[in-house]
Structure 1
Amino acid sequence: MRIDRKWEPHKPTIRLKLEPEEIERNLQNGKAISRAGLQHLAPAHPLSLPVANGPAKEPRATLDWSENAVNGEHLWLETNVSGDLCYLGEENCQVRFAKSALRRKCAVCKIVVHTACIEQLEKINFRCKPTFREGGSRSPRENFVRHHWVHRRRQEGKCKQCGKGFQQKFSFHSKEIVAISCSWCKQAFHNKVTCFMLHHIEEPCSLGAHAAVIVPPTWIIKVKKPQNSLKASNRKKKRTSFKRKASKRGMEQENKGRPFVIKPISSPLMKPLLVFVNPKSGGNQGTKVLQMFMWYLNPRQVFDLSQEGPKDALELYRKVPNLRILACGGDGTVGWILSILDELQLSPQPPVGVLPLGTGNDLARTLNWGGGYTDEPVSKILCQVEDGTIVQLDRWNLHVERNPDLPPEELEDGVCKLPLNVFNNYFSLGFDAHVTLEFHESREANPEKFNSRFRNKMFYAGAAFSDFLQRSSRDLSKHVKVVCDGTDLTPKIQELKFQCIVFLNIPRYCAGTMPWGNPGDHHDFEPQRHDDGYIEVIGFTMASL
């Protein structure tokens, strides 16, 4: 096996600016209202919802990307929060006298209703914020988004109109509507005629403090399913222009049978963000993070990797200019997304940021995203993604070749192709590789046992101790040959009897340690960087491990 000396072209990655003035600005921008509660305010342009003739359908909990998707459909999650009353209020609530009725909370607009009241909510036509627009409309395209106003019984922050706070005499089980807020821009007003006025209903929404990273619903188009009879009728009555025909043909070719297409409006101020969340990484933080991003962004730019891989989403958004990606997971999640970007060959390559939900998070530490997510406000994270500096990251190809010095019978069980042939952090042989493989196989077999970052680290420690006692890598030095820049290091490896050999691309290793150390202490060693085209080779004895 050999590692290419010629390093692969850089993949841009987001690195945080940590200057004090930057942090202060991010904190100021991050003040967004995020509490929920309540009643009905009719939207400006109601759409007809399908009426169920049969038994009540199961409340939808995931986005519908099919041609049957309904705009403004809520995403219902089970909730047991005792402080939120049913959004319908006492007059319209179907189970107002039941104390233990099941309730659901919309992950997108934060309203809470009883499960039995969801059908009634559709009857009064209170929909969630729209996430796309219908294609094939004859009306001119609207390039702006309208507010999505929601009544709230509880509200944080201050009124946009009068600047006063929202006074709540009884925070729990309050029946009074104290505020009207927009689930897009998060602006909130007192529920008074002097604060919330008629012109607020029709005015365009700015999308709030994070408008630069939000994908507006006007960009996402659900392609209208062609109807042959209607097409034939149109051809008889009217001939469309050549330009119009070309536009339609181009959309059909670009769509390739997919129900949705993206038609972005280019702007140097826009940095649209795709968020990929891996709930399996680290502990149980992934699900919570997924819901918070759906609240702040367009839900159609937030993807759950446990439902589907990132390929379809990246293909859908591949032509969006200034695209940025946030990988919420461990280093393996980041590598997965980068491998799909390699496969799709996007040009230019979008920069990738990391929200560390994994166990080790060495790449996240290297890029100043921290060693683990500690419930920082999502609003602050969005500011950091928008303002982060783009840096380069070396990535290395691995080539596996048969050993010509071995007899054919010993090569029968050999592997000629690795599951992954590119590495971003480090590549290792021996002790730590065996422990990591054992962790991976155990988590795949029993994912329910690996639901916290602390428990994962304890498993690592136990597996490492067991492997240490068994000394499964004690003969590693007898089975490897290492040549670096033409220099054969094999005799040195055999002399020191290394139990582990690491090819290090980034300074961090094994959950934050820095084995390369401080280059100032060793004048013969140059400082380690993740964008210099060099890789560091380090050997560990059992004592040093």
Structure 2
Amino acid sequence: MDPQATDRTSPGAAAGGFGIRPASLGADGGDSESGAGSEEAAMGCSDTFSSLPDMEQESLEEKLRGLAFRKQTSYRKAISRSGLHYLGPPQPALPPASNGPIKELRTCADWTENAVNGDHLWMETSCSGELCYLGEDACLLKTAKSAPRRKCAACKIVVHTGCIEQLEKINFRCKPTFREGGSRTLRDNVLRHHWVHRRRQEGKCKQCGKSFQQKFFHSKEIIAISCSWCKQAFHNKVTCFMLHQIEEPCSLGAHAGVIVPPSWIIKVRKPQSSLKNSARRKKRTSFKRRTSKKGLDDSKWRPFILKPLPSPLMKPILVFVNPKSGGNQGAKLVQMFMWILNPRQVFDLSHGGLREALELYRKVPNLRILACGGDGTVGWILSALDELQMNPQPPVAVLPLGTGNDLARTLNWGGGYTDEPVSKVLCHVEDGAVVQLDRWNLLVEKSAVQPEEGTQKLPLNVFNNYFSL
């Protein structure tokens, strides 16, 4: 694909936006006061009955303490059922935080049946001076200046590795990347903003048009609220960010035409045999036929399916990155693409999954592919497309990494990646002109004379003819 089309820069893409901070962990709800009041009442009663015999006094104190405990426990249950956990009584002191949680941290999207919507994608970061997203009230390692930190590639929050469990307790999730198969209501299919609090923000406020205050040192004050999907940012003021904006639908911003909406990607449950199906199977006489059909169903089942909504304005881009090309450029590109796009349309080829990704996205109309790597990476993707016999075959653009980028030079993508903004690259892929590439498939016949140094299998049987471009 030739990027010679218009060179347009997406508005606000370089600024980067964020979203809302969850309710503070240390909320002083009425529950904590009621618990304290119950204990004071118990102590007051024990003073009142101090003149009674010791046995009666102890029994009364035990009953009153039990009453206060039951009242507090029932209040906790009511809060948990209503979902207002932050109004509950203060939790007991947590044990000293370790350098990392026990739970395995994910660095790429989970495509198994155990996938959780809103999982953060944690990458190692050198942001040692940046404050933990939890803030001073909830951060467990606020006094440890050199504690290791992680950064989410999808929403760009930074937390201590030891605070990740605490982040899950306050239920701050990352931006959703799919939807559950059982959700049929319109509300579940509408994509809403993913608001995140920011202590540093570039660009200007969407409401008032003024720039965000930039401080030389890292500020503890939250100055902006921005969406990690559309990148819109607002001042953290009542005059700029309104309460009704929390539930507003998101337009996905300047790159809406290339982003795969989460509503397209559906997680389906594994089919289970119902009572009716089991009764029908009992009526069958052939046991062999029954087992073969069940095995066929199990082999066809996949945890995720795609149901795209065709639109002439949509040109979704599937990104494949070979991190082994170009030093550390590939790993950085994965994070940058996950920030702008849906993380489930960005694939790290070092983890495999090329064929599975192409099979999943094969029915997406106007699909375009961006191969980040050398000529070998592009040839690998083109061969996989030939094997799957996708019709029509999606055009492939090249973002050259490393060396050996003759195809990228021929297609006017240049000889290497020079830290060009990813938003600009996506615009080139979206607007680039499609050209035909001549590919040769070699068929080799076995020779009657077999020399000792000969081989019966060629390392490559496909050649790309760059002169045809």
TM-score by length of 2: 0.76
Q: Determine which structure has more spread, i.e. the larger CA radius of gyration.
A: 2
Is contact 1:30-1:377 (8 Å) kept? no
The 3 A distance-change label for structure 1 pair 28 and 313 is closer
SS of equivalent to 1:116: helix
1:210-258 C-alpha deviation (Å, 9 max, x unpaired): 0010000000011123344xx439999xxxxxxxxxxxxxxx9799221
Letter in 2 for 1:224: R
The 3 A distance-change label for structure 1 pair 368 and 138 is closer
Partner of 1:246: none
SS of equivalent to 2:356: helix
Which consecutive unaligned segments of at least 5 residues does structure 2 have? Answer: 25-82, 86-100, 280-295
* Structure with a larger share of its residues in strand: 1
Matches within 5 A, 1:371-382: 371-382=415-426
Which of 246, 258, 265 aligns to 2:309? It is: 265
The 3 A distance-change label for structure 1 pair 391 and 142 is farther
SS of equivalent to 2:382: helix
Partner of 1:214: 259
Partner of 1:127: 173
Partner of 2:143: 97
Which of 353, 360, 372 aligns to 2:397? It is: 353
Which of 319, 322, 325 aligns to 1:278? It is: 322
Q: CA deviation at 1:376?
A: 0.3
1:114-163 C-alpha deviation (Å, 9 max, x unpaired): 11111111111100000000112353474431100000000001111111
Q: CA deviation at 1:196?
A: 0.6
Partner of 1:385: 429
Which of 2, 10, 15 aligns to 1:33? It is: 15
Is contact 1:37-1:111 (8 Å) kept? no
Letter in 2 for 1:131: T
Which of 247, 250, 254 aligns to 1:202? It is: 247
Matches within 5 A, 1:347-496: 347-403=391-447, 408=449, 410-424=450-464
Looking at structure 1, the residues matched to 114 and 375 of structure 2 have their Cα atoms a distance apart, in angstroms, of 36
- Does residue 1:232 correspond to 2:275, yes or no? yes
Looking at structure 2, the residues matched to 255 and 380 of structure 1 have their Cα atoms a distance apart, in angstroms, of 41
Looking at structure 2, the residues matched to 255 and 193 of structure 1 have their Cα atoms a distance apart, in angstroms, of 54
Looking at structure 1, the residues matched to 315 and 184 of structure 2 have their Cα atoms a distance apart, in angstroms, of 30
Is contact 1:154-1:171 (8 Å) kept? no
Partner of 2:366: 322
The 3 A distance-change label for structure 1 pair 36 and 187 is closer
Partner of 1:526: none
Is contact 1:41-1:126 (8 Å) kept? no
Letter in 2 for 1:184: W
The 3 A distance-change label for structure 1 pair 331 and 29 is farther
Letter in 1 for 2:237: K
Matches within 5 A, 1:58-69: 58-69=104-115
* Structure with a larger share of its residues in helix: 2
Letter in 2 for 1:161: Q
Q: CA deviation at 1:200?
A: 1.1
Q: CA deviation at 1:111?
A: 0.1
1:378-417 C-alpha deviation (Å, 9 max, x unpaired): 000011111111111111111223456xxx3x43542233
Partner of 2:225: 180
Q: CA deviation at 1:30?
A: 6.2
SS of equivalent to 1:181: strand
SS of equivalent to 1:274: strand
Letter in 2 for 1:165: S
Looking at structure 1, the residues matched to 155 and 204 of structure 2 have their Cα atoms a distance apart, in angstroms, of 19
Counting matched residue pairs gives 380
Is contact 1:402-1:411 (8 Å) kept? no
The farther-off stretch of 30-39 and 289-298 is 30-39
Give me the identity figure in percent: 73
Which of 336, 342, 348 aligns to 1:298? It is: 342
Partner of 2:206: 160
The 3 A distance-change label for structure 1 pair 140 and 38 is closer
The 3 A distance-change label for structure 1 pair 177 and 69 is same
Looking at structure 1, the residues matched to 259 and 423 of structure 2 have their Cα atoms a distance apart, in angstroms, of 12
Is contact 2:193-2:246 (8 Å) kept? yes
Letter in 2 for 1:85: L
SS of equivalent to 1:392: coil
